[in-house]
Structures are given as structure tokens and as C-alpha cells.
Amino acid sequence: NIALDSSQLMLLAIGMTFVIITAGIDLSCSAVLVFSAVVGAKVMSRLSGSPEQVKLYEFPHQNIGIPVGLAAAVVCGLLWGTLNGVLITKLKLPPFIVTLGTLGMALGLGQIISGGQTVPYVPYDVQSWVGARRFFGWLPLLVVITTIVVIIAMIVLSTTRFGRYTFAIGSNQAAARRAGINVDRHLIKVYALSGLMAGMAGAFEVARFATASTAAHSADNLNAVSAVVIGGTSLFGGMGSIVGSVIGTFIPTVLRNGLIIGGINPFWQQVAIGA
């Protein structure tokens, strides 16, 4: 259950690890998650039946609507991440400023699309098919997917040219350019990866709750940064690991779980976790 609760933040932290290793930051990931979830839920509802049918909670075409809706969420995240990368590299703007701006854009557009409300009329079967599916009666599908993503990210960061370029750019961008690395193209890929992870987290949101809300996940961007830095990734770039980020993600989640079980006041929970 702790792993399931950590799955969305884990995806954000994986993307953030690559970004911070390049000495950048992505403040927009939480808003991209929300936007992706809203779009995914809207597409899913629209393609699962006519407006009259879905209002009666009848979804004759959900076999099409559910996978297309989840895919739409992931694609939205990828596009936002690519936009971040292009603005940072082509306009030579600081990542902090760009991603702070796209944070407001993504969240605002998500609220416009949803009308500022929780998205209704999403097929409930998205939960039974994906969000609540468990192997062997106890292992959630979303945890399996997250674990696979973590393993792939570990391999990419530690053993591939993409990972080496990421560390090189974070250590010394000018030296990386002189070594023949196309820094701009690689940074676009890194921010696109972060957006992709946020889009996947948005798809998880729809799959788990069969809805999407613009009021949730407001602090997930800072939580992701915290998890990555607690896990040993340097904010100055050039150093970090996926394993560290995984541990950094679990620390506040395990603490929060224990404090809830212990019956601690929610406000004191925030103080304890912050400490």
C-alpha cells in the first residue's frame, strides 16, 4: 500500500532526477500531472459513449475510451516537457523561470478544460482494469509498472550514453559542448522525459480514482524535488542516482503512513515530516 501511494510521486522523482543532474529544475511537473489527468479523463469519457449515455453511466465504447484516454494523458505530459526543453534551450531562459511559467499555464488550462471541477462520467472499469488490478491478490499493477520504470531509468542513467551525457552536462555544460555533445538537443530530451513521467503520473491518477481534480497535487513538484535531493542528487548538477531518489521518495511516505497509524494530528504530521 505504501508503494502504491508512492507510485505517482516516484514517477515525478525519476524525471526530476535526470533534470536536476543536468543542473536544471522542473517546477511544472505537478501542474502537468493535473493537466494530463484532466485531459485523459475528458478523452476517456468522450470516447466511451455519447454524452447522453455517459451521463447515465453507460459506457458502450469504453474498450476504446479507456486506453486512448490513458495514452492521451501520457502524450500531454510529453508535449509539455518538450515545450519546457525548447523554451529553455532555444530562448536561453533559466529552467526555474520557464517551468514556473508553464506550471501556471498547465494548471490554468487544466482548470479551464475541467471548469475548475472534478471531471465526472469517467468509466469505473478503468479502476478494475488498471488502477485496482492486483496480481496474486496483493501486488498492484501500478506498482509493477512503476518498478519497471525505475529499473529502466536505473539502466539508462548508469549504463547508457544518454546517462553519461546527462552527468556530463550537469558537471560542466561548456566542457560537454566542446566534447561534441549536442547539449540543447539532450536537454530537450531530458525535459521531455520529465514531462513524460508527469503524464504517466496523470494517467495513474485517472486509473486509481476514475476522475481527475485540479485541486490535488499542488505541492507534488516540491515533494519530488525534496525526494531527489534527500536521495543524494546535487542541486548543482553532475551527481545523483535513481536508487537514491527511490529511497528519498519512500522516506516521507513511510513517515506519513506511520503518523496516520499513530493517530497524530494532520497539522503536526506536516511539522514532523518537515523536521
Instruction: Express each pLDDT in 107-116 by its tens digit.
Output: 999 999 999 9
Share of the chain above pLDDT 90, in %: 95
pLDDT at 274 over 90: no
Read off the pTM.
0.95
Mean pLDDT within 169-173:
96
What three-state secondary structure class fits 81? helix
Q: Which residue has the cell 544518454?
A: 162
Per-position DSSP letters for 53-71, written without gaps between them:
HHHTT--TTHHHHHHHHHH
Mean pLDDT within 142-147:
98
**Angstrom distance (rounded) from CA 19 to CA 193:** 9
Beta carbons within 8 Å of 24's beta carbon, 6+ residues apart: 88, 95, 187, 190, 191, 237
| pLDDT for residue 191 | 98
**Angstrom distance (rounded) from CA 74 to CA 92:** 27
| pLDDT for residue 273 | 87
Q: What cell was used for 183?
A: 547539449
Share of the chain above pLDDT 70, in %: 100
pLDDT in tens, 80-111: 999 999 999 999 999 999 999 999 999 999 99
**Angstrom distance (rounded) from CA 105 to CA 24:** 19
pLDDT in tens, 183-230: 999 999 999 999 999 999 999 999 999 999 998 898 899 999 999 999
The beta strands (E) that lie in the chain are given as: 134-135, 139-140
> What is the CB neighbour count within 10 angstroms for residue 82?
17
pLDDT in tens, 25-75: 999 999 999 999 999 999 999 999 999 999 999 999 999 999 999 999 999
